[in-house]
Amino acid sequence: MSNRTGAAAVAKPTLGQPILTVEGMVKYFPITRGILFRRKIGDVKAVDGVDFTLHKGETLGVVGESGCGKSTLAKLLMRLEDATAGTAVYDGRDIVAAKGGELRRLRRQVQMVMQDPYTSLNPRMTVGDIIAEPLIIHGVGGKDKARETRVRELLDLVGLNPEHINRYPHQFSGGQRQRVGIARALALNPEIIICDEPVSALDVSIQAQVINLLEKLQAELGLSYIFIAHDLSVVRHICDRVAVMYLGRIVEIGSEDEIYNRATHPYTQALLSAVPVPDPDAREHRRIIRLSGDVPSPANPPSGCRFRTRCWKATDLCAEKTPALIEREADPHPSACHYAERADHILG
Partner 1 sequence: MGRHSHSIVEQDSAPGPDDGGGHLLEVDDLYVEFRTGEGTAKVINGVSYHLDPGETLAVLGESGSGKSVTAQAIMGILDTPPGFVTGGRILYQGKDLLTASESDRRAVRGREISIIFQDALSALNPVFTVGWQISEALRKREGLSKKDGLERAVELMELVNIPGARERLKAYPHQFSGGMRQRVMIAMALAQKPNVVIADEPTTALDVTVQAQIMDLLGDLRRELNTAMILITHDLGVVADVADRIAVMYAGRIIEHADVHALYRSPAHPYTLGLLNSIPRLDDKGKTLRTIPGLPPNLTNIPSGCPFHPRCRFVRDVCRSEVPPSLDLGGRHSACHFARELLAGELEPTRKEPEL
Partner 2 sequence: MSDQNALPPDATVVLAEGEAGMGQTRSLASDAWRDLRRNPIAIISAVIIVLLVLMALWPSLFTDADPYACDLSRSLQPPSSEAWFGYNLQGCNIYARTIYGAKASLQVGLYSVIMVAVIAAVLGMLAGYYGGWADAVIARVTDIVLGIPLLLGAIVILSSVTLTGVWPVVLALGLLGWTSPARIVRSSVISAKGQDYVQAARMLGADNRRIMIRHITPNAMAPVIVVLTIALGSFISVEATLSFLGIGLKGGEISWGADIADATGRVRNALGPVLFPSTFLALTVLAFIMLGDAVREAFDPKLR
Q: Please give the residue ranges that form the binding site for partner 2 (CB under 8 A).
A: 78-80, 103-104, 107-108, 111-112, 114, 116, 119-126, 133-134, 137-138, 159-161, 164, 166-168, 170-173, 175-176, 181, 184, 209
**Residue ranges in 68-127 that form contacts with partner 1 under rule CB under 8 A:** none
Chain center to CA of 26: 16
Contact flag: residue 221 with partner 1 (CB under 8 A): no
Distance of alpha carbon 248 from alpha carbon 271, whole angstroms? 16
Closer by beta carbon to partner 2, 100 or else 293: 100
Q: What is the smallest separation between the CB atom of 166 and partner 2, expressed in angstroms?
A: 5
Q: Could you tell me which residues come within 8 angstroms of residue 271 by beta carbon, excluding any fewer than 6 positions away?
A: 63, 65, 232, 244
Contact flag: residue 26 with partner 1 (CB under 8 A): no
Closest CA relative to residue 229, chosen from 115, 72, 110: 115
DSSP E strands, the chain: 18-33, 39-55, 59-63, 85-90, 93-94, 110-113, 192-196, 224-229, 241-246, 249-255, 326-328, 331-335
Chain center to CA of 238: 12
Distance of alpha carbon 12 from alpha carbon 212, whole angstroms? 22
Contact letters (x/-) for partner 1, 269-298, by CB under 8 A? -xxxxxxxxxxxxxx--x-x-xx--xx---
Q: What is the smallest separation between the CB atom of 204 and partner 1, expressed in angstroms?
A: 6
Distance of alpha carbon 283 from alpha carbon 176, whole angstroms? 36
Q: What angle do CA 200, 43, 95 make, to 5 degrees?
A: 60
- C-alpha torsion 179→181→183→188, nearest 10: -160
Q: What is the smallest separation between the CB atom of 61 and partner 1, expressed in angstroms?
A: 12
Q: What is the smallest separation between the CB atom of 241 and partner 2, expressed in angstroms?
A: 24
- C-alpha torsion 88→55→211→204, nearest 10: -60
Contact flag: residue 220 with partner 1 (CB under 8 A): no
Chain center to CA of 346: 24
Contact letters (x/-) for partner 1, 230-249, by CB under 8 A? xxxxx-xxx-----------
Closer by beta carbon to partner 1, 22 or else 251: 251
Q: What is the smallest separation between the CB atom of 159 and partner 2, expressed in angstroms?
A: 6
Distance of alpha carbon 147 from alpha carbon 154, whole angstroms? 11
Which residues are bridge partners to 111 per DSSP? 193
The site partner of 272 among partner 2, partner 1, none (C-beta below 5 to 8 Å per kind) is partner 1
The site partner of 219 among partner 1, partner 2, none (C-beta below 5 to 8 Å per kind) is none
Contact flag: residue 11 with partner 1 (CB under 8 A): no
The site partner of 275 among partner 2, partner 1, none (C-beta below 5 to 8 Å per kind) is partner 1
Q: What angle do CA 61, 230, 95 make, to 5 degrees?
A: 45
Contact flag: residue 311 with partner 1 (CB under 8 A): no
Distance of alpha carbon 213 from alpha carbon 175, whole angstroms? 11
The site partner of 305 among partner 1, partner 2, none (C-beta below 5 to 8 Å per kind) is none
Query: Total residues at the site for partner 1 (CB under 8 A)?
Result: 50
Q: What is the smallest separation between the CB atom of 19 and partner 2, expressed in angstroms?
A: 19
Give me the residues that bind partner 1 (CB under 8 A), please. 65-66, 159, 173, 175-176, 203-209, 211-213, 215-216, 230-234, 236-238, 256, 260, 270-283, 286, 288, 290-291, 294-295, 347-348
